[in-house]
Amino acid sequence: MALHVYETPVQAYAPVRVLSCAASLSSRKVIETRIQCSTGSFYKFFKKQASMLPSVCSAIVQTVNLADGNRSWVNTVGSRKVIEILAADSCDDTAEKFKYVVEAVDDHAKKITYKVLEGPLLQTYDSFTVTLQVTTASTAKWTVEYVKKDPSSEDPDFLPRPFPYYKRYR
């Protein structure tokens, strides 16, 4: 993987390029990570095989479970899941749980939008949305949009490491 630009030392272990970052109560970060597999395989993994995240990214994702009566792992608009992720600054492997809903799926653009419904992020942010778009250049583009509850709140610093270890899955 190619090494790009890092915002903070916390991000030094994930190869990323931060494309934009706005500062205000309502903010947006666009982060690119290189992927080492076909764009179709990467998109299919996130759309249909999210249950495999703990196996593929065990250093980051602890668990993923269906929520609120969902019976399918396929990400469709309205589907809900609970994901448990290790905190970026955790020295003691502390995991944080988040419930999210899939807000949008665009198969043609290879794009999925997730909105956090419950979890520690909502103590700091009024809303928190992540959009994954897989581009034709073997790049995953993560667009993170959030609204701070307090202007003095820090921007989230764990975002560029979403899934740096994903190499190949079929």
Q: What's the rounded Cα separation, in Å, for the pair 29 and 24?
A: 12
Domain-embedded: residue 153: no
Domain-embedded: residue 61: yes
What domain range is 119 assigned to? 9-148
Question: How high is the pLDDT of residue 26?
Answer: 87
Domain-embedded: residue 162: no
The CATH number covering residue 81 comes to 3.30.530.20
Residues 6+ apart with CB under 8 A from 56: 45, 163, 165, 166, 169
Q: What is the DSSP string of 86-99?
A: E-TT-SS--EEEEE
Domain-embedded: residue 1: no
Question: How high is the pLDDT of residue 149?
Answer: 92
Question: How high is the pLDDT of residue 1?
Answer: 33
Question: How high is the pLDDT of residue 65?
Answer: 95
Mean pLDDT per 10-residue interval, the chain, length 170 residues: 31 43 74 88 93 87 92 95 79 80 97 96 94 89 92 73 41
Single-letter residue type at 71? R
Q: What's the rounded Cα separation, in Å, for the pair 127 and 148?
A: 8
Question: How high is the pLDDT of residue 127?
Answer: 95
Question: How high is the pLDDT of residue 165?
Answer: 40
Domain-embedded: residue 155: no
Structural domain total, the chain: 1
Domain-embedded: residue 102: yes
